[in-house]
Structures are given as C-alpha cells and as structure tokens.
Amino acid sequence: MSQLKLTYFDMHGGRGEPARLALHIGGVAFEDSRFGFADFAEVRKSTPLNQVPTLHVDGVQVTQSDAINRYVGKLAGLYPLDAFQALLCDEVLDAVEDANVKLGTTFGLTGEALKEARTALVNGALPLYLGWLQTQLQAHGGQFFADHRLTIADLKVFVFVNGLNSGRLDHVPTDLVEQVAPLLSAHTQRIAQTPAVAQYYAQFGL
Ligand SMILES: N[C@@H](CCC(=O)N[C@@H](CS)C(=O)NCC(=O)O)C(=O)O
C-alpha cells in the first residue's frame, strides 16, 4: 500500500474533508497533515499551485481535490466500478465544486459587499445547485447519488451541505438547505448517522 499524506486546514469541512472521510471509512492508513489558518501562507509555499488540499502518494505531491477524491474513493471502495455510475458520481463532484468556486468568490469580501454577494448566491446559484442535487438524488433512488451505495459523491455533498448549515457563512441562512431541498437535508443527516462517519467525528468530540 502506498504511503499517503493529506495536507489541509485543521477544520471539519472544506475541500479536503471528503478525502479524509473516505480514507477513514475505507480503513486506508494515511497521514492527516493539518495546519491552522495562520500557517497557510507558509504551507502554500510547499504546494505546486499554492493551494490545498494536496495528497502525497509515496512522496509525489498531487493537487486538485476532486482528482484526490476519486483516487482515495477507489482505494476506499467508495467509487463506482461501472462507467456510467462513475459518470453520475463525477457529475455531482464537479457540480458541487462549481458551487464551491462561486462561494469562494465571496470569501475576501466584507461589509455590504459581502452581504450583497452572499444574498445574490442565496437567491440564485445556491437554490439552483441545491435543487439540482435533490433532483439527482431522487432520480438515482433517493438514498445515494450513484451506484445505489455510499460513494465519494455522497461525502462531497455531505461536506458542502454541512458547510452551508454551519452558520460560519455570514448571510447564508442555516436553514437554506432544509427550505430549498429537504431531501438533501435528510441525505446529510443519514450520512452523518452512518456508523463510520459518526465514529470519525466522535474522535474529535463532535
Ligand atoms: N481546484 C482546486 C482549488 C483548490 C483551492 O482553491 N483551495 C483553496 C483552499 S480550500 C486554496 O488553497 N486557496 C488559495 C488560492 O487559491 O490561492 C482544488 O479543487 O483542489
């Protein structure tokens, strides 16, 4: 088995979290290299694109969260073998990443500019993406996004929805997902109750 080191912020969310969860669920050994926000300026100098997450695989440093998610998904048995189911899984990963990028454009803003940008998302892009995710979930059986079983797509959506619900995003109502896409909310709760996921967060006292 390859030596794995995942480098990401010391937080329970964001682009690095689905891979941490997948590796834990799959029982795949890895070094969970976490750092505080204050250390990001230093850490990013050691990454190829000045970004995180990165995954070292036997010393080779790889970028791009969804490439990492697919790779660790395969190692953990959380990525479809069937080509079409893999396509459905990838579609969800990429859509959530698009939504992450839209949210990311608001991160440097403050005051009225932040309020305006976040409110525009709450009234536009976020309901669009959340509604689409809910439709995908229903279309594929209502429980999981692909392959009728837990995949990395479920973990990506789980982390995304938890972020929206967290209250850490000013001007994003913590009940937005429940209001706009209640079946997605139920999906997040189910994933949270999956024994390996619950056990993962219990390690952190959550
Ligand atoms: N496409 C990249 C985006 C990574 C990314 O933007 N990461 C954020 C933290 S979650 C970051 O490092 N931002 C700093 C920057 O882009 O300069 C991926 O999916 O991994």
Query: For residues 20 and 6, is the Cβ–Cβ distance under 8 A?
Result: yes
pLDDT at 1: 83
What confidence tens digit (pLDDT) does each residue in 164-187 have? 999 999 999 999 999 999 999 999
Tokens matching residue 187? 């999906």
Q: Which pLDDT value is given to residue 177? A: 98
Instruction: Measure 16 CA to ligand 1 centroid, in angstroms.
Output: 10
Residue 59 — φ and ψ, nearest 5°? 90, -10
Q: Is 70 in the pocket of ligand 1 (CB under 6 A)?
A: no
Quick one: which atom of ligand 1 is closest to the CA of 101?
6
Across 142-155, average pLDDT: 98
Verify whether ligand 1 is closer than 6 Å to residue 64 (CB atom).
yes
Q: 124-140 pLDDT, tens per residue? A: 999 999 999 999 999 99
93 lines ligand 1 (CB under 6 A): no
Residue of 125, 104, 102 whose CA lies nearest to 176? 125
Instruction: Output the pTM of the full model.
Output: 0.98
Q: Considering only CA atoms, which of 13, 54, 22 is closest in space to residue 152?
A: 22
68 pocket-lining for ligand 1 (C-beta < 6 Å) = no
Tens digit of pLDDT for each residue in 59-113?
999 999 999 999 999 999 999 999 999 999 999 999 999 999 999 999 999 999 9
**pLDDT tens digit string along 4-38?**
999 999 999 999 999 999 999 999 999 999 999 99
* 51 Cα to the center of ligand 1, angstroms: 5
- Cα–Cα dist 66/97, whole Å: 8
What gap in Å lies between CA 30 and CA 28, rounded to an integer?
6
